[in-house]
Amino acid sequence: MKLFLIPLLLLVVLPRIDARETSTNFLLITVDDMSSDSVGVFGNPIPGITPNIDRLASEGLRFEHGHVTVAICQPCRAVWMTGRYPHNSGAFGFDEIRAGVPTLPEALQKAGYRTGLMAKHGHVVPSRAAAFDEIVPARDLRNGRSPELFGKRAAQFFAAAKKEGKPFFLMANSQDPHRPFIGSKQEAAAKKRDRGTNPTSMAEDSLTTKSSTLPPRSQSRDFCRTCRTSARNWRSIIRRCTVPMRSPGRY
């Protein structure tokens, strides 16, 4: 069976797929809030910073001019899962896609694929959760930050697909670069929450940093307020600007 391992981004529109006619598997890995210059193959000067991603790039294709359609989490993922611009799917911001919009996981599931989602499950076309045969929440992956647990759960998913005799589509979403930041109170709260629901969660002192390396709390609050304001403004602008763009075409 073929295995396509595609790091960081995949957008596929498959209107007609029959699992009986193909044995292609899809593993989609995304990294939340990681800039391209954090990766060695894209110019990060720190030796050995991303050896596995660099190896994947050396064995596959590297896109040097690939850009997301929307620079916000949930609507960007909606673009990936639908192949449509936000104004044609309904996901302008943290919104659900319209009822009649088809999605990639639904098409694959209908075609006989075993479909899975790891972390960010509230941001990947959440209104279509039934399109995923298995969902692993971030709290079961140490807040989406444990490579070991990602690997373990992925291996279990692959084994289940093999046992069922099905090809698979698995979307694995690493949350490591995303908030909560290392050493923050938000991170400590996430660890405490996860310890209450998941005995395999990280130890309290497994990720630590000096408080002096963190921005002042007032600065963090100002930054968060700026982000929320920017998101609201973007949503307002995109709604106004895209109304005249609507056309009979679906995409």
My answer on whether omega of the bond before 180 falls inside 30° of 0, hence cis, is: yes
Q: Which domains does the chain possess?
A: 3-178+215-245 (3.40.720.10)
Q: Has residue 246 got a pLDDT over 80?
A: no
- Residue 136 carries which side chain, given as an amino acid letter? V
Region 204-212 average pLDDT: 34
Those residues with Cβ within 8 angstroms of residue 171's Cβ, 6 or more apart along the chain or in another chain: 28, 30, 105, 116, 117, 118, 124
Region 136-156 average pLDDT: 94
| Global confidence as pTM | 0.70
Residue 228 has a pLDDT of 63
Region 9-26 average pLDDT: 57
Residue 6 has a pLDDT of 42
Residue 232 has a pLDDT of 64
What is 129-173 written as a DSSP string? Answer: GGG-SEEE-GGGGTTTT-HHHHHHHHHHHHHHHHHHT--EEEEEE
What's the pLDDT tens digit per position in 52-107? 999 999 999 888 888 888 888 899 999 999 999 999 999 998 999 999 999 999 99
pLDDT-based confidence at residue 224 (cuts at 50, 70, 90): low
pLDDT-based confidence at residue 196 (cuts at 50, 70, 90): low
pLDDT-based confidence at residue 21 (cuts at 50, 70, 90): low
Residue 201 has a pLDDT of 35
pLDDT-based confidence at residue 110 (cuts at 50, 70, 90): very high
CB burial of residue 248 (10 Å; 0-12, 13-18, 19+): exposed
Region 152-180 average pLDDT: 94
pLDDT-based confidence at residue 10 (cuts at 50, 70, 90): very low
